[in-house]
């Protein structure tokens, strides 16, 4: 799974933090680093703080938008340091490692880290299947982004080592899955289609949407649907639209 785990940094301000993240990743045998609109990159401070993990910096993929960094991933996890207005499935790093370890081998996983000063926005967190929270000291919860990456990468590494040692074969749903999981781009197109249909049938008022779409998003992401399930849902939406037109 280590080759399918992607660390995504959003709007990183200090280039040294990018280098420190690359160092943390390489220590735990992770190699895929994606950057969303970093303020300064490439940068000499990133190279200096990487302590030799320059191959990760050289191969880092830079995106303008978070959605682009997630488009081909099937499991997206956002790091969150605080509770949110709408509760979302929440795990600690060890629980996350267990989920990742038992997912189908082909699953592409993205773990998203936010800005140094304020983390991820609510809209960004709603792109994620679930959130991960590091249970730090509640009186001093001030983890540097590289330290947070190190904690989570360590748990992922330990879970992989334990699974290898035990030769474990425990699929996520208790049995090998027959269909590849839907990737993020497919899910986002489904959500856009769903919102469009709900507006057409007057179930969703675009002028007063309340929290309908975030709650539907949470419901469907919690299920981690596969490609066929997403196609079935979109087929239902097309049938509804066709009936409206007729």
Provide the pLDDT confidence category of residue 60 given band limits of 50, 70 and 90.
Answer: very high
Give kind and range of the element (H or E) at residue 63: strand 61-63
- Counting residues of the chain whose pLDDT is more than 90, the rounded percentage is 82
Sign of CA dihedral 3, 36, 93, 16: positive
5-10 sheet: strands from edge to edge: 61-63, 32-36, 5-10, 109-113, 75-79, 130-132, 90-91
Residues of the chain with CATH 3.40.1280.10: 2-166
Residue intervals of the chain classified under CATH 1.10.8.590 are 184-245
Q: Give tens-digit pLDDT for 123-135.
A: 999 999 999 999 9
Q: Is the pLDDT of residue 192 over 70?
A: yes
Give the model's pLDDT for residue 37: 98
Domain 2-166: assigned CATH number: 3.40.1280.10
pLDDT for 167 equals: 54
How is residue 232 written in tokens? Answer: 């079935």
Write the CATH number of the domain with boundaries 184-245. 1.10.8.590
In angstroms, rounded to a whole number, what is the distance separating the alpha carbons of residues 82 and 214?
Answer: 18
pLDDT in tens, 10-38: 999 999 999 999 999 999 999 999 999 99
Please write the tens of the pLDDT for every residue from 137-187: 988 888 899 999 999 999 999 998 888 776 545 566 767 788 999 999 999
Structure tokens at 186: 């497919």
């Amino acid at each position: 799974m280590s080759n399918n785990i992607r660390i995504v940094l959003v709007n990183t301000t200090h280039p040294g933090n990018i280098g420190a993240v690359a160092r943390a990743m390489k220590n735990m045998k992770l190699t895929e680093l994606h950057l969303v609109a970093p303020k300064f990159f490439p940068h000499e401070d990133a190279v200096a703080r990487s302590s030799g993990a320059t191959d990760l910096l050289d191969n880092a993929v830079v995106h303008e938008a978070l959605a682009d960094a997630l488009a081909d991933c099937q499991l997206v996890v956002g790091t969150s340091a605080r509770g949110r207005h709408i509760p979302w499935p929440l795990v600690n790093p060890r629980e996350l490692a267990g989920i990742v370890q038992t997912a189908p081998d082909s699953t592409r996983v993205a773990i998203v880290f936010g800005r140094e000063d304020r983390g991820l926005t609510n809209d960004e967190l709603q792109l994620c299947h679930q959130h991960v929270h590091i249970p730090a000291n509640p009186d001093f919860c001030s983890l540097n982004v590289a330290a947070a990456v190190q904690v989570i990468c360590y748990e992922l590494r330990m879970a992989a080592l334990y699974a290898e040692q035990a030769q474990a074969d425990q699929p996520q749903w208790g049995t090998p899955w027959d269909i590849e999981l839907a990737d993020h781009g497919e899910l986002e197109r489904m959500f856009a289609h769903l919102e469009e249909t709900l507006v057409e049938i007057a179930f969703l008022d675009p002028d007063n949407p309340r929290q309908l779409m975030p709650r539907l998003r949470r419901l469907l992401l919690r299920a981690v649907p596969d490609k066929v399930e997403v196609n079935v849902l979109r087929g239902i939406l097309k049938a509804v639209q066709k009936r409206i037109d007729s």
